[in-house]
A and B are shown apart, each in its own frame.
Chain A
Amino acid sequence: MNRERIRALFGYLKGYRHLLLISLFIMLSELIFAFISPLFFSVTIDSVLDTKPLDTAPDFIAWLVAAVGGVENIRRNLWIVAVAIVTLQIIRGALTFSRSYSTNKASEGTIKKLRDRLYSHVQNLPFKYHVSAQTGDLLQRATNDLDTIRRFIAGSMLELVRTVMLFVVGIFVMSRIHVPLTFLSLLFSPAIVFTSLYFFRKIQKMFTEVEEADSKVFTLVQENLTGARVVRAFGRQKFELNKFNEGNEELRNEIIKLNNLFSYLWGSLDFISGAQIVIVAVFGIIFTVNGSLTLGQYTAFMSYVHMFIWPLRGFGRVLSDFGRTLIAVSRVQEILNEKEEDFYEGLEPDISGDIVFENVCFSYDDKKVLDNLNMIVKGGQTVAILGGTGSGKSTLIQLLQRLYDIQSGSIKISGVDINDINKKYLRDRIGIVLQEPFLYSRTILENIAIKTDKPDIERVQEASRIASVHDDIERFELGYNTVVGERGVTLSGGQKQRVAIARALVSESDILIFDDSLSAVDTKTDASIREALKSRRQGTTTFIISHRITTLMEADRIFVLKDGRVVEQGTHEELMDIGGIYRKTYEIQSSQVV
């Protein structure tokens, strides 16, 4: 399980692994320099400010001293030491900066790539996925989980490696100076790690509780304010306040508990690390007085012990980050492992011809929606479909767009089996207006001309006029450049519907579908849209789904659907003669007020 997640995480890094490798390399150099710096001080103290021979100093420092004219010269020109220190710091600073730069370049790049991949993947997931998808959860993964991964790559991941390197380099450098003190310097490391791990486990649990209490308060506030009118109408202010106080106090207490845990974590870590420092100091003093350590080396050791403490203290956090990241990875993988639609295969035939549904069956889960449906639609004709809820009319349309695949039977357009037609091509040639249209948070112009990059304002306006939304749009301050949605103007349901109709009208399509969308506009608009369609589009096969007989009656052919089958078909007159469902519907709708 975890191995898979780590592999996935490693996979995300593709294209940026070399940058991370560079970061690791720089990190190693940084560590080496970090350990060298105190040695410079050490030599300065022992051999420059004191008169100890250089033989305790590492070879390269002895070499450097010789290169600048020996100890005597340095003693006369102490600025050499100062310059050495500043130079060393410049090198270290440059290393730190480049490491941080390359690491972040890798993490930002990785996350951009992952974000893009996730987005386009979600776009390309089949219709079926989106129907049942939980948007909140999906968005949560695309934002929070991705951010957890980014932070891990930028921080804790290399920190993990760095801690290991620190020990390797540290033990190497320190043991060359004094083995027993090296051992003593690391004596409490396990205690620090365990303490931080122990508390981090507890803290994480506590975090969940705080989050729960927090979301409880959120819900309390949200519900109270959403229902503010109800609260007032019933005079329930006191009741509400008591309910809120309970949640509010619980949250407060949980936060205090969590915070206390942190205080104990930091307090005990302070104490253990303090004890570690005292031990090194005391034994350092003893060893120096005994003569097995020089004063300079003592100060170097005091620096080293500090270098170990901070990464060790953070180790619990790093490990818990790692755990959290793996969970985030698995949540992201869950989406990425869903199969995308195949957009690339298939023929691109002319689809303005006849559409033939033959024995089409379809069920959602176990519920049969289409049951041996047969239907022939002549190319260029306008057909109308009447049916109750659950009669299968929307499914029929979805199958026509290949949003779902038929389970048995066949649909042929211009004689070509629909399963052989390229999905994108097919959908591109079909214009559809859904019952509840979705508009993007862009300008109205962009929304209507959404299929093109360079909107043709003339055509957009013409389509808007036909959809009788032009006047509404012109009434907005910014006209066609009004942004709709969250960041702009909220359109009424009817306006949205008409914008969607304009959107469908503006692009050339061979098949045009109105899925219960004409009934949302008033009778007059409905009639004028249909009139305009008739005069404008020769050769466009049009499907109109509606409950309103006046919308349907002029169609070339009317199909009545019930329980997934065509039960009546013909022209208005023919269906009136049959005297079935259609006629009954007609009669109910045309009855008069008594």
Chain B
Amino acid sequence: MSVIQEQDYSARKVDLKTWRKILGYAANNKKYIFIAVFFGMLTGILDLCTNYVSMWAIDGFISPKNTERLPIFIIVAVLIQIGFALFTILFVQACGKLEAHLSADIRKEAFTRLQTMSFSYFDKTPVGYLVTRLTNDVSRSTETVSWSFIDLGWGSMAIVASLVGMFLVNTRLALIIIAAMPIMVLVSVVFQKQILKYQRKSRRLNSMITSSFNEGIMGARTTKTLVREELNNRDMFALTDRMRRASMRAITVSALYMPVASLVISIAIGLVLNRGGFYVLGGYITIGQLNFFITIGNFMFEPIRNFSRIFAELQTSQAAAERVAEVLDARSDIIDPDEIVAKYGDMFEAKTENWEPIRGDVEFRNVSFSYKDGEEVLKNFSLKVKAGENIALVGETGSGKSTIVNLICRFYEPQEGTILIDGKDIRERSQLWLQSNLGYVLQSPQLFSGTIRENIRYGKLDASDEEVENAAKMVGAHEFIMDLPKGYDTEVGEGGGRISTGQKQLISFARAIIADPKIFVLDEATSSIDTESETKIQKASERLLRNRTSFIIAHRLSTIRDADRILVIDSGEVIEQGSHNELMELKGYYYELYTNQFKTEKIQESVQALD
């Protein structure tokens, strides 16, 4: 369920290093940052100008009762407003572009990085986790940091300009306003912290409610049979009640913030009026100047509030930024050295002109391998397979059979020993060279959205329509594809969701076979499909496997009876090997496995007979 994603509600210290790193990913970031800060600052100056203009209106026109120079006033005032509008457009666009480029560039960088990671990384990292990093976390962190620049530019200039402006007019009144500033800062910081704390609490409850709702929906049928409706309701109501109370606390705190802050301001203004009024009466300052101080007092709070808000936001998104940085820092544990890359090309750009053709001899020489330290799956494992040989691997889950084929594909790197293809250590060629020569069919057929044709063509990007159809015919998928209303142009849906698992598997077979690979790997490829499709594949397999070195791991032993050599694997060792008949005569492990399975298969067969 994608709606529910794990969240991190912790507030962390704002670490500028992380943010600088995040910002470093946008190519033109300096330009946008400059525009945002610069026009933000200009806006801050304009704000002060507006206050000056108000003062000018009173002292220059109203008090002397003179409207002679009003046209100039109008021109200045209008120019200021045009400036506001223009600057707004400019800095909003700059920040928007910064955000958009930053997030796109980071996503691209992270995506590229993930393409180079080996299987061990994906074993440890759930897909949902990575997807959240690349979507939510990237958006959240880039948004916060991009937009903070306007406020930074505007706020700092607004404060500086106002201070300068005030001191130019009257020092004592300026000091009153300045005295109020630390109080305002304190009030803002304290409140923002509290608000953040309570918001986190209610957000956590909110996601709990979402999970409960999800469970209520997913489990509704079971709930009915267990008559648990009322108990479920009671639990949910308790949860929503906690949620209401938590949000009320959050709301109460934030509702208090503005009144308290305004009170501080009004006290400052009261003091200004008290003193300033006295000055006006004494003729030291004009009424326009007094008005100027009152406006500034109201205005000065705005940047302080913005600063504390930005700080709070950075704090909230700190965790997101750190997680993004983590993905960007990830390095694969299988990296082609520079000299290999120089000769064969890297993961993205192949130098196919230097690629040697592959025959298909495979050899394991004293290979030891473990996924986790101390848990050795293969120990000193050796195996020799001649080009064109069909090998079947049999054994329990965890026996090491999948590991063997994964090592052949170089999805993992053994800790000790060497694997040789055509007599040469696989590390002496690039990963892409090997993997481009592989045909690989996984247990759960993974298709990509697009048409059936596009999915088959994934195995050979420049394949003609005819080649695509031939591949489909070879695996026995052509008939069902033609039965679909749109044939090869049928959209398979996200992850292939619109067609059945068996059909998906047949397509993934066609995808693997179209490139005519010299090494062919079927990792439990038939266990998720129905018997009918399986029979089809079995019929085709003789043709499929001809002239290729193949490795088949199959749960159903009936699929592997025809293999040239069956290897029974237990705890990383070959305990029996030979043809089906040889192993059956041996009456050992294989024999027992086969007999047991036979019974299960008979039950399935009898079920089909019932229909």
Binding site for B on A (CB under 8 A): 41, 44-45, 48-50, 75, 78-79, 81-83, 85-86, 88-90, 92-94, 96-97, 100-101, 104-105, 108-109, 111-112, 115-116, 119-120, 122-125, 127, 130-131, 133, 135-136, 138-140, 142-143, 214, 217-219, 221-241, 244-245, 248-249, 251-253, 255-256, 258-260, 262-264, 266-268, 270-271, 274-275, 277-278, 281-282, 284-286, 288-289, 295, 298-299, 302, 343, 386-391, 401, 403, 424, 427-428, 430, 432, 434, 437-438, 440-441, 450-451, 453, 486-487, 503, 519, 547-548, 562, 581, 584-585, 588-591, 593
- Say yes or no for B471: interface residue by CB 8 A criterion: no
Contact of B287 among A256, A295, A424 (CB under 8 A): A295
Residue of B nearest to A264 (CB): B89
Distance A548 CA – B604 CA, assembled complex (angstroms): 9
- Say yes or no for B67: interface residue by CB 8 A criterion: yes
Contact of A136 among B1, B85, B215 (CB under 8 A): B1
Distance A270 CA – B241 CA, assembled complex (angstroms): 43
Interface string of B233-247 (1 = CB under 8 A from A): 100110011011001
Of residues 263 through 307 on chain B, the ones whose CB sits less than 8 Å from some CB of chain A are 263, 265-267, 269-271, 273-275, 277-278, 280-281, 287, 290-291, 294
Q: Are A238 and B222 in contact (CB under 8 A)?
A: no
A299-B291, A547-B604 given. 20 additional CB < 8 A pairs?
A90-B263, A97-B259, A109-B244, A120-B229, A120-B233, A225-B127, A232-B118, A233-B440, A235-B350, A238-B349, A241-B348, A249-B104, A259-B99, A266-B88, A266-B92, A270-B85, A285-B61, A343-B229, A427-B225, A591-B602
Knowing A263-B89, A266-B89, the reply to whether A122 touches B494 (Cβ < 8 A) is: no
Which A residues lie within 8 Å of B578 (CB)? none
Total contacts A to B, CB within 8 angstroms?
408
Distance A273 CA – B251 CA, assembled complex (angstroms): 31
Distance A78 CA – B82 CA, assembled complex (angstroms): 39
Which A residues lie within 8 Å of B97 (CB)? 256, 259
Q: Are A237 and B347 in contact (CB under 8 A)?
A: yes
Knowing A271-B85, A589-B606, the reply to whether A105 touches B217 (Cβ < 8 A) is: no
Which A residues lie within 8 Å of B212 (CB)? 119
Q: Are B80 and A123 in contact (CB under 8 A)?
A: no
- Say yes or no for B116: interface residue by CB 8 A criterion: yes
Distance A306 CA – B341 CA, assembled complex (angstroms): 66
Q: Are B73 and A282 in contact (CB under 8 A)?
A: yes
In angstroms, how far is the closest chain A Cβ from the Cβ of B346? Answer: 9
Distance A169 CA – B507 CA, assembled complex (angstroms): 71
Which A residues lie within 8 Å of B609 (CB)? 581, 584-585, 588
Knowing A130-B220, A266-B88, the reply to whether A44 touches B225 (Cβ < 8 A) is: no
In angstroms, how far is the closest chain A Cβ from the Cβ of B371? Answer: 15
Knowing A100-B255, A282-B70, A289-B61, the reply to whether A260 touches B96 (Cβ < 8 A) is: yes
Contact of A230 among B62, B224, B294, B442 (CB under 8 A): B442
Q: Are B88 and A221 in contact (CB under 8 A)?
A: no
- Say yes or no for B226: interface residue by CB 8 A criterion: yes
Of residues 314 through 331 on chain B, the ones whose CB sits less than 8 Å from some CB of chain A are none
Which B residues lie within 8 Å of A289 (CB)? 61-62, 65-67
Which A residues lie within 8 Å of B81 (CB)? 270-271, 274-275, 277-278
Q: How many residues of B contact A (CB 8 A)?
A: 151
Contact of A75 among B90, B104, B281, B442 (CB under 8 A): B281
Q: Are B85 and A226 in contact (CB under 8 A)?
A: no
Q: Are B221 and A252 in contact (CB under 8 A)?
A: no
- Say yes or no for B484: interface residue by CB 8 A criterion: no
Contact of A142 among B213, B347, B350 (CB under 8 A): B213
Give the segment of B161-169, B566-574, B591-599 that binds chain A. Answer: B591-599
Which B residues lie within 8 Å of A140 (CB)? 3
In angstroms, how far is the closest chain B Cβ from the Cβ of A226? Answer: 5
Which B residues lie within 8 Å of A343 (CB)? 229
Main secondary structure on B side of the interface with A: helix
- Say yes or no for B223: interface residue by CB 8 A criterion: yes
Distance A438 CA – B220 CA, assembled complex (angstroms): 9
Q: Are A438 and B219 in contact (CB under 8 A)?
A: yes
Knowing A218-B135, A227-B448, A589-B606, the reply to whether A139 touches B3 (Cβ < 8 A) is: yes
Closest 9 CB pairs between A and B?
A274-B81, A259-B96, A93-B259, A82-B270, A388-B610, A89-B266, A233-B440, A263-B92, A100-B255
- Say yes or no for B391: interface residue by CB 8 A criterion: no
- Say yes or no for B48: interface residue by CB 8 A criterion: no
Contact of B255 among A97, A124, A388 (CB under 8 A): A97
- Say yes or no for B547: interface residue by CB 8 A criterion: no
Distance A221 CA – B96 CA, assembled complex (angstroms): 23
Which A residues lie within 8 Å of B209 (CB)? 115, 143
In angstroms, how far is the closest chain B Cβ from the Cβ of A265? Answer: 9
Of A111, A227, A244, A262, most B-chain CB atoms within 10 Å: A227
Residue of A nearest to B91 (CB): A263
Contact of A227 among B66, B210, B222, B446 (CB under 8 A): B446
Residue of B nearest to A100 (CB): B255
Q: Are A298 and B108 in contact (CB under 8 A)?
A: no
- Say yes or no for B340: interface residue by CB 8 A criterion: no
28 CB-based A-B contacts, threshold 8 Å: A49-B280, A90-B263, A92-B262, A100-B255, A111-B244, A119-B233, A120-B236, A130-B224, A142-B217, A221-B130, A223-B448, A223-B494, A225-B131, A228-B122, A235-B435, A248-B111, A252-B101, A259-B96, A259-B99, A263-B92, A267-B92, A270-B85, A274-B84, A282-B74, A282-B77, A424-B229, A434-B221, A441-B211
Q: Are A241 and B115 in contact (CB under 8 A)?
A: yes
Q: Are B74 and A278 in contact (CB under 8 A)?
A: yes
Which A residues lie within 8 Å of B350 (CB)? 235
Contact of A116 among B240, B267, B273, B602 (CB under 8 A): B240
Residue of A nearest to B237 (CB): A116
Q: Are B88 and A263 in contact (CB under 8 A)?
A: yes
Residue of A nearest to B442 (CB): A229
Which A residues lie within 8 Å of B271 (CB)? 82
Which A residues lie within 8 Å of B287 (CB)? 45, 49-50, 295
Which B residues lie within 8 Å of A105 (CB)? 248
Knowing A49-B281, A139-B213, the reply to whether A104 touches B248 (Cβ < 8 A) is: yes
Which B residues lie within 8 Å of A89 (CB)? 262-263, 265-266
Distance A390 CA – B50 CA, assembled complex (angstroms): 80
Q: Are B222 and A438 in contact (CB under 8 A)?
A: yes
Residue of B nearest to A424 (CB): B227
Contact of B216 among A122, A298, A453 (CB under 8 A): A122
- Say yes or no for B575: interface residue by CB 8 A criterion: no
Knowing A112-B241, A125-B220, A263-B88, the reply to whether A78 touches B277 (Cβ < 8 A) is: yes
In angstroms, how far is the closest chain B Cβ from the Cβ of A453? Answer: 7
In angstroms, how far is the closest chain A Cβ from the Cβ of B115? Answer: 4
Of residues 1 through 26 on chain B, the ones whose CB sits less than 8 Å from some CB of chain A are 1-4
Distance A541 CA – B45 CA, assembled complex (angstroms): 86
Q: Are A143 and B210 in contact (CB under 8 A)?
A: yes
- Say yes or no for B100: interface residue by CB 8 A criterion: yes
Q: Are A232 and B77 in contact (CB under 8 A)?
A: no
Knowing A119-B213, A226-B446, the reply to whether A388 touches B607 (Cβ < 8 A) is: yes
Residue of A nearest to B243 (CB): A112
Residue of B nearest to A239 (CB): B461
Q: Are B255 and A229 in contact (CB under 8 A)?
A: no
In angstroms, how far is the closest chain A Cβ from the Cβ of B47? Answer: 12
Q: Are A116 and B233 in contact (CB under 8 A)?
A: yes
Of B90, B458, B595, most A-chain CB atoms within 10 Å: B458
Residue of A nearest to B435 (CB): A235
Q: Are A100 and B84 in contact (CB under 8 A)?
A: no
